[in-house]
Amino acid sequence: MHWFFKVLIVLGLFGFFIVFILFIRPKLLPIKQIINSEKYGIILQSERWGGVIRVTGDILVVPGARIDVDPGTQILIVTSGDKSNMDLIPLHLKSGVNAEPEDIFGVMHGEPFYDEGQKISLRFFKFYAKGTSQQPVILASDTDTKSPYDINTIWINSGILSNVKLASFRRLEIGPNVIISESSISDSGECGVCILRGKPQVLNSIFNGTLRNYIWVERASPLISGNTFLPTKGNGVVVNPKRFGSPKILNNKFQLPGYSGVYFLEGGEKKGGEITSNFFAAGDITIPCDSKVSVTQNHIKSNLRFLKSGNCVGSITIGENYWEVDSPEKIVNERVIEKELDFTVNIKEVLKSPPKNAGEK
């Protein structure tokens, strides 16, 4: 047999072995019950967690396996001494604080580096944590003095987080098939929820404390509805649509004085998203002049702010909203800020009373 065909056979067998280990074998094995245990490393079969799970190293769950978490379970992550580091990127292994004036691999000036040799990251392809209002699932660091840098990245590709209390983590990245509902997300470093693709849902949850942004959306079209964003040091929902993103931001309550409740970084979208039926108690709506996002049926106590680009001409029409001001001219003069001189803002109509469902679940 020619050597080329021998190589193909070896590669084919190796590929089948990998697929079997990662996708097929986990589905053939029974679900393993894990209660009051220590966890770290690669997980090769589906597990059900309960009691107190103490995580002492990086976790990677293979694509064919699933983690289910019982109500009342506490998943507590140690803040140093990673027993199973799986991130060997040199800049992620760097420790200490970024003293440079510019960002280094996403780490801003004054922020601690990822220090992956000590800090822990979690990677789940399928993660289902379903608590109850009486017995929420807790996912947080195991220290009393919490920090947004206690845990590095929590990555969940698909699953449900319902009645979960997440705290003290750098970033939570969710995939296209994740639903977060009735949960609390607090003390995050870079983003309480990072959405980079697909149409995940963030529903009826409370965001309390972030150093950058509560929700970061890039090239995605999530449903963000019924949430409460409490005062913090960053923005609420930051969107970089990259032309194809069209998020629906509905029925949320924003309490973010000095920051933006919703912040669109780019315009020129192919479709445009929705900012509808929200209550902006504090926190501006910030959009570029060429944004196609629809702003309508909101209760707005804050400002409509435009990003300056130096080339904004023409006009934009804003939908029907309640501004607590009757005159469209007064709204444009007093509540529309930082627009360029050659750019016109048209207020379609001013509602006489707040929309009934603005900011409500």
Residue pLDDT, tens place only, 37-81? 999 999 999 999 999 999 999 999 999 999 999 999 999 999 999
Pairing of β 74-77 and β 32-35: unpaired
Mean residue pLDDT of the chain comes to 94
**Burial class of residue 217 (count of CB atoms within 10 Å of its CB; 0-12, 13-18, 19+):** buried
Q: What are phi and psi of 254, to 5 degrees?
A: -110, 125
pLDDT of 5 > 70? The answer is no
Q: Torsion-angle region of residue 156: left (phi > 0), alpha (psi -120 to 50) or beta?
A: beta
Q: What average pLDDT score do residues 345-351 get?
A: 91
What sign results for the dihedral spanned by CA atoms 220, 221, 227, 228?
positive
Per-residue model confidence as pLDDT tens digits over 163-210: 999 999 999 999 999 999 999 999 999 999 999 999 999 999 999 999
CA distance 342 to 164: 48
CA distance 175 to 220: 10
CA distance 30 to 105: 41
Res. 105 pLDDT band, cuts 50 70 90: confident
Share of the chain above pLDDT 90, in %: 85
Residue 311 has what pLDDT?
A: 77
Share of the chain above pLDDT 70, in %: 98
Res. 21 pLDDT band, cuts 50 70 90: confident
Six-digit token pair at 283?
Answer: 């926190």
Per-residue model confidence as pLDDT tens digits over 135-145: 999 999 999 88
Question: What residue has token string 């750019």?
Answer: 343
Residue 336 has what pLDDT?
A: 95
Higher pLDDT, 224 or 326: 224
End-to-end CA distance of the chain: 68
Stretch among 15-24, 242-251, 270-279 having the lowest mean pLDDT: 15-24
Residue 18 has what pLDDT?
A: 78
pLDDT of 2 > 70? The answer is no
pLDDT of 10 > 80? The answer is no
Q: Torsion-angle region of residue 331: left (phi > 0), alpha (psi -120 to 50) or beta?
A: alpha
What residues are paired with 162 via a beta bridge?
130, 181
Q: What average pLDDT score do residues 220-244 get?
A: 97
pLDDT of 341 > 90? The answer is no
Residue 243: count other Cβ atoms within 10 Å of its Cβ.
12
CA distance 213 to 221: 17
Counted residue by residue, the chain has a size of 361
CA distance 208 to 108: 21
Q: Which of 118, 99, 33, 104 is nearest to 67 (CA)?
A: 33
CA distance 162 to 159: 10
Res. 342 pLDDT band, cuts 50 70 90: confident
pLDDT of 99 > 70? The answer is yes
